[in-house]
Amino acid sequence: MSLRAVSSVTGCGYALRSRLASALTLSSTEGPLGPLGAKRHLPKRGTKPLPQFLWDKKHLEELTGGEYTHKPLRVNRLGGRDPETGRKVNQHIGGGVKFDYFMIDNCRRGPSNFGAFYEERVLEVRRDPNRGPHIALVAGSKGKRWILATENMSAGQVIKTSQHIPDNPVLAAEGNAYPLGALSPGTVINSIEKYPGKGGEFIIAAGSSAEVVRHQGDYVVIRMPNKHEFALHKECMATVGKLSHGDLKDKIFGSPNMHRRFGYRPSSGLFHKKDGYFGRKIRRLPPVRTLDQPDLPPCDKLALTLTKTDLTGLFGTANVHNLLASGYSGRDYHDE
Amino acid sequence: MGRFTVPEAVQTLGLPVYDPNDADFPRKTTPDPVQINHPAFRKPTLQDHVLYNEKPSLVLDGTDAEPMSAGLAQAGALLNAVIRKGFPDRLLKAASGVGDLPKHSDRLCDAIMHAERYDPTLEKLPRRHDPVLFWVVHPRMHGTPRIARNNILLDNLFRYSSVALKAQLSNANPQLAQLFEDFRIDRDEPLSSILPNGCSSEQHGVKDLVVRSHPHLTIQSSKVFSPWASSEEVEATAKEIVPDIRPIDPTIDLKSDHIYNREAVLARSWIPLHVHSIMWSREQDQKYPWTKEQLAANAIAHCFGAAVAQATRYGEVVDGRLKRPIVTRAVQLVDGRLDLVAFQLNTVDLNNRNSVKNIAWIEPAQQLYKPGPIWENYEKVVDLNESAFVKFFATLLG
């Protein structure tokens, strides 16, 4: 850290103060316009979504033994707090009535040979207090499971899943699941896998849907509701249709108390001055992002034990035996 | 100053080295856990269970059952049975005279009020759940639990049928008196039956089918009961088609378990008796109640279990074939509604769709009366339906 030389042109006291203020921070991002002006190339604040700490996944694993069950469960809730650090990560979440938790199976898997499907019948479509879209209980030869319901899904309907990618695109029916490579451009889809085999991660909000734009070799380009485009592997599975409960955004809770019953905590209520982050920004769309390989998991944290000497932080000529300060000598002692 | 390390020369001597910074220096702060190799100190595993079997079976458990997803059609597909809605007319006609007896409705009301109001049990009842006002926490009430009330009602109905009606109708129908005389009644006895290679599925392959339940009343008799369907009618079922519930597999609601009885478990198994009927009650979950179809399918499955227990009890099954048809009856009481079932077991080969089929007669959801909520006192019988009792009596007569 070093103080920059003060400009000889002292006409702008504000520029001097801002430079000193920014220099005293440890920001290393400086450009031609100085530290404050160089932030425009950085990702927008809040772009990367925070992890949602809603339900305790460890408790869920304890209850189910790591296996899937369609039965309603009572899972502990975290109130937006990180289970390891205990700190609040997600604002305005906490309390509320203890709703039953239904495990949702996002993995739609089926046979990959031509003409073969895994068929399931929809037994029930119901609301889920833990998520926006409705959920559907489907039963097939492998058992029962809950999935996210599409808009027109109803009890008695038979839905199919296939992992076969034919030469010509399929005539996709709503509720069926196909790989992206089997869908024709213009197909409305939801619950899209980011990487093959990982389960539906894109488009899980109520009423939302994405669109298949084009096929590009081994990748398929899809357009999100915010018009951003992603190129995903053609083996990634997606469900055809729009997700249910599209009118959720128009519904109102009716009272602050009802908000609290659903587990939402109030905002601070204090006045917060709006800064440059607020307001509509008109920007170019980013280029198509190709999701080729999943991000590597974070490395295991190393647990180090430092010696007493390491803990002192002393090095060089200062790194002497700790007893020397008490009057001991480094020289040999002779018997007197 | 580097960290102290034990010199190699000392290490080669093999001397014990103690670290003064260790918590257990110079003596242990916590004693070593006692290692005793004795069965009493070993945590029991699944394999130690008395009823453990290496080969798992598919179990339909009455106490922890899943509702049948496809209802009656699934029961038919699983049990290789054709479902007939409604009892034979001859039985309904034979039982129809009960309505003319004096004070009949008063006696029925008494039987119901004994269960709903007069019982002095004070147990903690489940907390009331309101699906609309879901945030309201209602106080815990005390009273007679729903299953206890229903069991009392079943007892009363059976007693009224077997004692009072028998006494009144026996002059007109002497065979009726003989029928009820020989009944042996057991309460709350377990019932378990096993059908080797009873079901096959894509997911599980061919497995044994175990049906176990805990009926409140198990009624047996030394007499052999004649089947409801004649041999010609049974042969005709070979041409009938069992419901096809694809894509649902009939076994998806059964659970795979290693712990089950390899022989039939029945009350009074040491006496040569024949199961006449079983009666039990169910309490509906407040949040996720079963539908009428699911309840009816459950009743058929348990009636089948009783029939198989009877069949396998005295070696009626030889080389996978049944010597003679066996008929059992079942009564399930849920929220004032009676599910009346009679099951005729004609074949134990449940996977062969070309053979004769089993037959199940059912009168589903016969509302005997309208019960009130469990947290309120029930002052008066509401909507008493005597025709439901007529069908109940017909079930016992058949």
pLDDT tens for residues B148-160?
999 999 999 999 9
pLDDT for the residue numbered A325: 82
Judging contacts by C-beta atoms under 8 Å, the chain B residues touching residue A72 are: 287-288
Q: What is the mean pLDDT of residues B317-338?
A: 90
For chain A, the domain total comes to: 1
C-alpha B25/C-alpha A239 separation (Å) is 64
Q: How confident is the model at residue A45 (pLDDT cuts 50, 70, 90)?
A: low
Q: Which amino acid is at B153?
A: L
Q: Which amino acid is at A121?
A: R
pLDDT for the residue numbered A9: 38
Cα angle at B66 between B62 and B68, to 5 degrees?
105
Q: How confident is the model at residue A336 (pLDDT cuts 50, 70, 90)?
A: low
Q: Which of B388, B397, B396, B393 is CA-nearest to residue B336? A: B388
| Within-domain flag for B42 | no
Judging contacts by C-beta atoms under 8 Å, the chain A residues touching residue B201 are: 141
pLDDT for the residue numbered A324: 84
pLDDT for the residue numbered B2: 62
Q: How confident is the model at residue A17 (pLDDT cuts 50, 70, 90)?
A: very low
| Within-domain flag for A321 | yes
Q: What are the C-alpha distances in Å from A232 to residues A43, A289, A313, B358?
A: 22, 9, 49, 53
C-alpha B322/C-alpha B348 separation (Å) is 7
Q: Which of A188, A181, A184, A201 is CA-nearest to residue A108? A: A201
**More confident: B119 or B36:** B119
Could you read off the pLDDT of B358-384 as tens digits, one per residue?
999 999 999 999 999 988 899 999 999
Q: What are the C-alpha distances in Å from B134 to residues A41, A278, A293?
A: 49, 38, 45
Nearest CA in chain A to B3: A307
pLDDT at A3 over 50: no
Test the A interface: residue of B1, B133, B199 with most A CBs within 10 Å = B1
| Within-domain flag for B71 | yes
Judging contacts by C-beta atoms under 8 Å, the chain B residues touching residue A141 are: 201-203, 247-249, 252
| Within-domain flag for B47 | no
Of B70, B202, B253, the CB nearest to A141: B202
**More confident: B173 or A117:** A117
Query: What is the extent of the structural domain holding A24?
Result: 3-47+301-326
C-alpha B298/C-alpha B62 separation (Å) is 8
Of A97, A120, A141, the CB nearest to B135: A97
For residue B203, what is the DSSP state?
T
| Within-domain flag for B266 | yes
C-alpha B394/C-alpha B398 separation (Å) is 6
| Within-domain flag for B46 | no
Of B70, B203, B246, the CB nearest to A142: B203
Beta pairing partners, A188: A211
Query: What is the extent of the structural domain holding B345?
Result: 59-397
Nearest Cα of chain A lies from the Cα of B248 at a distance, in angstroms, of: 4
Nearest Cα of chain A lies from the Cα of B211 at a distance, in angstroms, of: 19
| Within-domain flag for B308 | yes
Mean pLDDT of chain B: 90
User: ω before B33 within 30° of 0 (cis)?
Assistant: no
Nearest Cα of chain B lies from the Cα of A142 at a distance, in angstroms, of: 6
Judging contacts by C-beta atoms under 8 Å, the chain B residues touching residue A322 are: 1
Of B1, B248, B253, the CB nearest to A140: B248
C-alpha B196/C-alpha B209 separation (Å) is 6
Beta pairing partners, A219: A216, A233
Q: Which two tokens stand for residue B136?
A: 């309201």
Q: Which amino acid is at A25?
A: T
Mean pLDDT of chain A: 86
| Within-domain flag for A23 | yes
- The percent of residues above 70 in pLDDT, for chain B, comes to 98
Could you read off the pLDDT of A119-168 as tens digits, one per residue?
999 999 999 999 999 999 999 999 999 999 999 999 999 999 999 999 99
Could you read off the pLDDT of A137-151 as tens digits, one per residue?
999 999 999 999 999
Judging contacts by C-beta atoms under 8 Å, the chain B residues touching residue A261 are: 134-135
Is residue A219 within 8 Å of A271, Cβ to Cβ?
A: no
Backbone angles phi, psi at A94, to 5 degrees: 160, 155
* Cα-Cα-Cα-Cα dihedral sign, residues B363, B364, B370, B374: positive
Most confident of B88-102, B293-307, B315-329: B293-307
pLDDT at B314 over 60: yes
| Within-domain flag for B125 | yes
Nearest Cα of chain A lies from the Cα of B19 at a distance, in angstroms, of: 15
| Within-domain flag for B14 | no
Q: What is the mean pLDDT of residues A317-323?
A: 85
Q: Which of B277, B170, B157, B166 is CA-nearest to residue B228? A: B277
DSSP A257-283: HHHHHTTB-----S-----TT-S----
Q: Which of A81, A76, A65 is CA-nearest to residue A99? A: A76
- The percent of residues above 90 in pLDDT, for chain A, comes to 64
Most confident of A46-60, A176-190, A288-302: A176-190
Nearest Cα of chain A lies from the Cα of B247 at a distance, in angstroms, of: 5
Question: Do strands B205-213 and B52-61 pair parallel, antiparallel, or not at all (unpaired)?
Answer: parallel
Total residue count of chain A as it appears in this document = 336
Q: How confident is the model at residue A275 (pLDDT cuts 50, 70, 90)?
A: confident
pLDDT for the residue numbered A181: 96
Task: Please list, in sequence order, all residues whose beta carbon lies within 8 angstroms of the beta carbon of residue A96, skipping any fewer than 6 positions away.
Answer: A77, A260, A261, A262, A263, A264
Judging contacts by C-beta atoms under 8 Å, the chain A residues touching residue B253 are: 144
Q: How confident is the model at residue A250 (pLDDT cuts 50, 70, 90)?
A: very high
| Within-domain flag for A76 | no
Judging contacts by C-beta atoms under 8 Å, the chain B residues touching residue A73 are: none
pLDDT at A263 over 90: yes
Backbone angles phi, psi at A153, to 5 degrees: -75, 135
| Within-domain flag for A256 | no
Cα angle at B54 between A67 and B56, to 5 degrees?
50
Could you read off the pLDDT of A21-32 as tens digits, one per residue?
444 444 444 445
C-alpha B318/C-alpha A256 separation (Å) is 70
Lowest-pLDDT choice from A44-48, A322-326, B117-121, B220-224: A44-48
pLDDT for the residue numbered A7: 37
Backbone angles phi, psi at A231, to 5 degrees: -105, 115
Q: State whether B135 and A142 contact (CB < 8 Å).
A: no
Q: Which two tokens stand for residue B352?
A: 């062969």
Report the run of H or E that residue A161 belongs to, with start and end: strand A158-161
CB pairs under 8 A between A and B: 47
**More confident: A69 or A335:** A69
Q: State whether A119 and B247 contact (CB < 8 Å).
A: yes
pLDDT at A199 over 90: no
Q: What is the mean pLDDT of residues B161-182?
A: 75
Q: Which residue stretches of B50-129 are H helix? A: 72-79, 89-95, 104-113
pLDDT at B127 over 70: yes
Q: What is the dihedral of CA B120, B126, B130, B134, to 10 degrees?
A: 150
- The percent of residues above 70 in pLDDT, for chain A, comes to 85
Q: Which two tokens stand for residue A172?
A: 């996709």
Judging contacts by C-beta atoms under 8 Å, the chain A residues touching residue B246 are: 119
Could you read off the pLDDT of B228-268 as tens digits, one per residue?
999 999 999 999 999 999 899 999 999 999 999 999 999 99
Q: What is the mean pLDDT of residues B208-212?
A: 94
Nearest CA in chain A to B249: A141
For residue B159, what is the DSSP state?
H
pLDDT at A269 over 90: no
**More confident: B30 or B369:** B369
Report the run of H or E that residue B8 belongs to, with start and end: helix B8-13
pLDDT for the residue numbered A46: 60
Nearest Cα of chain A lies from the Cα of B240 at a distance, in angstroms, of: 24
Task: Please list, in sequence order, all residues whose beta carbon lies within 8 angstroms of the beta carbon of residue B43, skipping any fewer than 6 positions away.
Answer: none
Where does residue B157 fall: left (phi above 0), alpha (psi -120 to 50 degrees), or beta otherwise? alpha
Nearest CA in chain B to A96: B135
Q: Which of A161, A157, A178 is CA-nearest to residue A169? A: A178
pLDDT for the residue numbered A38: 57
Q: State whether A143 and B246 contact (CB < 8 Å).
A: no
DSSP A18-47: HHHHHHHS-----BTTHHHHGGGGSPPTT-
Q: What is the mean pLDDT of residues B333-342?
A: 96
pLDDT for the residue numbered A204: 95
pLDDT at B198 over 90: no
pLDDT at B392 over 50: yes
pLDDT at A10 over 60: no
Question: Do strands B184-187 and A143-148 pair parallel, antiparallel, or not at all (unpaired)?
Answer: unpaired
End-to-end alpha-carbon separation of chain A, Å? 54
* Cα-Cα-Cα-Cα dihedral sign, residues A126, A129, A134, A137: negative
For chain B, the domain total comes to: 1
Lowest-pLDDT choice from A203-212, A297-306, B148-157: A297-306
Q: State whether A139 and B135 contact (CB < 8 Å).
A: no
Of A158, A261, A309, the CB nearest to B247: A158
| Within-domain flag for A317 | yes
Q: State whether A143 and B203 contact (CB < 8 Å).
A: yes
Q: Which two tokens stand for residue A222?
A: 């899809």
| Within-domain flag for A131 | no
Nearest Cα of chain B lies from the Cα of A299 at a distance, in angstroms, of: 28
Could you read off the pLDDT of B280-291 as tens digits, one per residue?
999 999 999 999
pLDDT for the residue numbered B1: 54
Q: State whether B248 and A139 contact (CB < 8 Å).
A: yes
| Within-domain flag for A38 | yes
pLDDT for the residue numbered A242: 97
Neighbour tally for B56: CB within 10 Å: 16
Q: Which of B309, B322, B313 is CA-nearest to residue B350? A: B322
Nearest CA in chain B to A124: B69
Of B1, B247, B288, the CB nearest to A140: B247
Q: How confident is the model at residue A13 (pLDDT cuts 50, 70, 90)?
A: very low
Nearest CA in chain B to A258: B135
Q: How far is C-alpha B268 from the chain's CA centre? A: 18
Beta pairing partners, B193: B211
Where does residue A176 fall: left (phi above 0), alpha (psi -120 to 50 degrees), or beta otherwise? beta
